[in-house]
Amino acid sequence: METYQVIALIGVIIFIYFIFFKNKNSAQKEINSLSEIEYTGSSTMTFDDVAGNHEAKQSLLELVDFIKNPQKYSKFNVRMPKGILLYGEPGTGKTLMAKALAGEAGVPFYAVSGSDFVQVYAGLGSGRIRNLFRKAKKSGKSVIFIDEIDAIGKKRAAGNIKGSDEGDRTLNALLTEMSGFAEDSGTVVVAATNRIDTLDEALLRPGRFDRQIEIMLPDKNARKEIIQLYLKKKKAEDVDIDELADLTVYFSGAMIENLINEAALTAIRENSDRITGSHIKKAYLDVLAGVEKKDFDNERQKTVTSYHEAGHTFVSRHLLPENKIIRVSVIPTSKGAGGYTLSTPEAEEVITKKKIRNHMCVLMAGRVAEEVFLGRENITAGAQNDIEKVTSLAIEYVAKYGMNDEAFINYQILSDKLRIPLTSVESSVKKLTSEIYEEVKKIVEENKETIEKIARLLIDREVIYQDELDDLIQKYS
């Protein structure tokens, strides 16, 4: 080989070597930079800024004293919870509670999301966990808040003892860090989840997230407090707080805040300098049902929808008279509904077999009315959403609550433990829905005249309200 060829070959090797190590160093720097995530440094919120959930606030106030005076508890050899798990429906105020805890205690607030630790790089998630706790320890007293902890805390696969999976490594790092910090350090780890049933048992044992607090949907009194809290921040007058609290049954705090914000936007569009009750009612309809289309002129669709909604409306008043029917409309909305029956149910503390069956009856009544009045061959796809809800309720009735007459069994657990398909559930659900469909059909056929009158009124007026509906039912029933 010629000398110049040797020199050229050596040059190529050096070039490749240089490029390889440059890329390696760049990749390492990228991984190191990814392991650093930003944290919220403080919280100015207090429990006065969070309405409702008084029991949860009382439980957290005890921790405020612990964070401020940890020595008072260690002197009597009292172990306070290292971890607090806040669980409940979305929008109930779990994050607000964590911020208020840090704000009341006056300590740094390190807030992250579980998804921040889900990474493709091996070891990056566990590295971020260690980095988070290292920063918190440097601050001394602090609150570490991990939102959506189910992203990293899901139950580990059975038989996976190697711990080689990246998700397992991240979870193991969290478990180790929580076991590692001193009980009298004044550091509290707070986590939030909507799905406590999916969390690994090691997270829930004493010494980890050993205090679990349910953040519930607000009851009527709590809804009144939340409404008043948000209305204080906006200019409002002539708003009936009691009526609005009744309308917002099953609303979370976030949904109430969104409703009042939409009402404020409605007031702005109307050039009003105050939010009034009419603005809130309009926003309520828009939030739940969608904005109604102004140019609606399809007689065939109106007729079908009128019979469909008349079925829902009558069966609801017949089987669930405690529910308030606010408005029945056959005008299509921006949310894709051809029409709607808007009702506010009573807050149910106890779920009974009869209530579930009655709810399924109401949901089926629209399709049944189409069949009875228009013929089986002319039923429409308008019941799609009703069918989905009925199927979901029927599965819970049979598989979750054990309310079918055949067996006192939770079929989901049976399937998980024995690894068998839920064929028996399928047949039970089909049988249940068929029985209820026939029950609804009988109700509709026995009250055809009244339902016909409701449908005709809807065709003529497009919208009817509770008082008109009650008068009509009373007259023809």
Burial of 389 (0-12, 13-18, 19+ CB in 10 A): middle
Catalytic pick among 309, 406, 426, 446: 309
Closest of 59, 62, 43, 56 to residue 92, by C-alpha = 56
Burial of 31 (0-12, 13-18, 19+ CB in 10 A): middle
Residues 6+ apart with CB under 8 A from 78: none
Length of the chain: 477
Rounded Cα gap, residues 475 and 467, in angstroms: 12
Q: Is 309 a catalytic residue?
A: yes
Distances (CA, A) of 11 to 5, 19, 219: 10, 12, 77
CB 433 within 8 A of CB 360: yes
Q: What is the DSSP string of 108-175?
A: -EEEEEGGGG--SSTTHHHHHHHHHHHHHHHHSSEEEEEESTHHHHBPPPTT--S--SHHHHHHHHHH
CB 399 within 8 A of CB 348: no
Other beta carbons less than 10 A from residue 434's beta carbon: 10
Closest of 382, 368, 374, 373 to residue 436, by C-alpha = 368
Give the 3-state secondary structure of residue 40: coil
Q: How far apart are the two ends of the chain, measured CA to CA in Å?
A: 108
> Which residues are marked as active site?
309
